[in-house]
Amino acid sequence: MDTIITAADGHRLSTYMAGSEADADRALVIVQEIFGVNDHMRYVADSFAREGYFVVVPALFDRAERDVELGYGPEDIERGLKLRSGIPEDKVLLDILAAAGAAPSGIPRGIIGYCWGGTVAWHGATRSTAFRAAVGWYGGGIAAAKDEVPKCPVQLHFGEKDGSIPMAHVEAIQAARPEVEVFVYPGAGHGFGCEARGSHVPKDAALAQQRSLDFFATHL
């Protein structure tokens, strides 16, 4: 369902929520790619809800333009990158904290993000204490923030053939943050977890998903 929440600075943003508010004993904030809260993100949210989580997916693009749902073509990528570039990191943090606050009170919260959202999940772990565990899939900005210290356990997933995240960046993250669990998928590229993209690798996506679920089961 779509629900409006309010961030600490008064900004109102839409969210997609899934799962049973009454029965869930764990919550997840799921952070979008640069394509908005589109069908894929709702699919991901519903998948986690079926695992028993209460899920909140904040529409981060609402600070630049509302109701954005993009595909995966070159024009969509260009537009998504432009929208992302206009939203300050500190405002994004406010929005994911608002999403965490929208989950039922008294239950532990985790955060998982993909692409841009993978980097945002890293920031959620290093720049806040709202989450007990964080998972990032192919977050391109994590290497630049590798010296930030996570305040909760973190698990990261990268494709070995990701054209936008060189293996040198992944190795730098591993060297700087040996306490972080890092998985690399040989032969996989960027967006290997998205069933709507040509880069989708079902085998690796399923393995990364199971590792993510196991990680949250341990830490939440």
- Could you say which of 162, 169, 194, 204 is catalytic? 162
CA atoms within a 13 Å half-sphere pointing along the CA-CB vector of 208: 29
Query: Rounded to an integer, what distance in angstroms lies between the CA atom of residue 215 and that of residue 220?
Result: 8
Active-site annotation holder among 115, 152, 194, 219: 115
Q: Hey, what's the torsion of the CAs at 208, 209, 212, 217, to 10 degrees?
A: -140
In angstroms, rounded to a whole number, what is the distance separating the alpha carbons of residues 99 and 77?
A: 25
* Annotated catalytic residue within 190, 194, 204, 219: 190
115 is known as an active-site residue: yes
Residues 88 and 64 sit within 8 Å (Cβ to Cβ): no
Query: Mapping DSSP to helix (H, G, I), strand (E, B) and coil, where does residue 37 land?
Result: coil
190 is catalytic: yes
Active site residue 200: no
| CB contact burial 63-86 (16+ within 10 A = b; e otherwise) | beeeebebbbeeebeebbeebbee
Taking Cα atoms as reference points, which of 130, 122, 166, 165 lies closest to residue 147?
Answer: 122
Catalytic positions, please? 115, 162, 190
